[in-house]
Structure 1
Amino acid sequence: MIGFLSGKLVVKAPPQLVIDVNGVGYEVEAPMTTFYNLPALGAPVTLFTHLVVREDAHILFGFSTETDRLMFRALIKVNGVGPKLALTILSGQSAEDFHRCIHNNDTQALVRLPGVGKKTAERLIIEMRDRLPDLGDEVGAVKGSDVSVSQSELKPQQEAISALCALGYKPVDAAKMVRSIPVEGKTCEAIIRLALQGASR
């Protein structure tokens, strides 16, 4: 099992990123909550990881905090929740919001996430209640800030739509989410954050 990766961030294309560790590029899938905390390209970064082994692929998932990794591992133990849906849940809600949904039996907030129907939301509330990790102070969280990129406004917008589609949203819905917010001067990660915040309301 690969417990963490520490190297240079060379690709940011939500929800995928690539970390150069001593000349080896590791492809990692990460929730948007991790992307919000990533440093600029070329900067050093450390992510906690979880390896999912399938017959056709080995997929590495990365998280900026141990809490997010624990949450991911708890989610994929829930019947009917696979790694992709777990990533969508962690991208669409903060750990604090998810805790609140579980404790308040808030199925309505959960079903707003793509791929989460009423039955899955109810199952999450029942099965996650005793599995929620403690939201204490994080140690070793990724440090850094989003970097502004001198590109046309269209590219971050298109990247944000593609990222939302990869998280499970339908292309037409993803486009509506992005077009409903002001995107001028914003990075791809900032656009996605605003779009997901709007979808959760």
Structure 2
Amino acid sequence: MIGRIHGTLIEKSPPDVLIDVNGVGYEVQIPMTCFYELPEQGESITLYTHFVVREDAQLLFGFTDKMARELFRELIKANGVGPKLGLTILSGMSASHVLSSVQNEDISALVSLPGVGKKTAERLVVELKDRLAKFAKKAELPALPIDGQVSSYAEVPVNAEDEAVDALVSLGYKPAQATKMVKSVAQSGMTSELIIRDALKAAI
């Protein structure tokens, strides 16, 4: 089990990053609510990880704090929720928002996420409400920024909108839906991270 990784952030391509650890590059998938907190490329980074081994792939999921990783682990224990859907849930909602939605049985908030239908949302509430109660008693979780910028507008890549669309598609949104979400929030000078954040926020 790979539980923690520390190295140099080489590439950022939401929701994936490449981290160099003593010459070995690790590809890590990160929920967007954690992606916003990442340092710039070339800087040092530490992530708490969850390693998934399948017949056709070995996947490494990363989180900027232990609490987000533990919440991810609780989510994928729920019937019908795999790592990809767990990543999608924590990309569309901050950890604290997920907790409040489950505790308050807010089905409408959960079904706003791609891949989460009414039955899945109801299952999450039933299976996780008691298990997630412990998180509410722990340290405050980082919330998805609502006001202010999460990333600099400087040095914006030309393909920021395309990168944002690709990221949303990888999180489970259909291409046409992702494109529409991006077009509705994108403005000149915005980074892909900021476009993704605003698109996800508008979808909830």
TM-score, normalization by structure 2: 0.90
1:152 Cα shift? 5.0
Give the letter for the 2:197 counterpart.
Answer: R
1:196 Cα shift? 0.2
* 2:161 match: 157
Instruction: Tell whether 2:14 aligns with 1:14.
Output: yes
Segments of 5+ residues of structure 1 without an aligned counterpart are: 140-144
Instruction: Tell whether 2:171 aligns with 1:167.
Output: yes
Question: After the TM superposition, which residues 82-121 of structure 1 pair with which residues of structure 2 at under 5 Å, given as runs?
Answer: 82-121=82-121
Deviations 1:87-142 (A, max 9, x none): 00000001111111111111111111000001000000011112225253379xxx
**Root-mean-square deviation (Å):** 1.6
Give the letter for the 2:155 counterpart.
Answer: S
1:160 Cα shift? 0.2
The answer to whether the Cα contact below 8 Å between 1:157 and 1:191 also exists between their aligned partners in 2 is: yes
The answer to whether the Cα contact below 8 Å between 1:40 and 1:146 also exists between their aligned partners in 2 is: no
The answer to whether the Cα contact below 8 Å between 1:39 and 1:147 also exists between their aligned partners in 2 is: no
Instruction: Tell whether 2:189 aligns with 1:185.
Output: yes
* 1:71 match: 71
Question: Greater relative contact order: 1 or 2 (C-alpha under 8 angstroms, separation 6 or more)?
Answer: 1
Distance 1:148 1:18, change over 3 A: farther
The answer to whether the Cα contact below 8 Å between 1:33 and 1:90 also exists between their aligned partners in 2 is: yes
Paired residues, what number? 194
Distance 1:164 1:17, change over 3 A: same
1:28 Cα shift? 0.4
Give the letter for the 2:46 counterpart.
Answer: T
Segments of 5+ residues of structure 2 without an aligned counterpart are: 142-149
The answer to whether the Cα contact below 8 Å between 1:7 and 1:22 also exists between their aligned partners in 2 is: yes
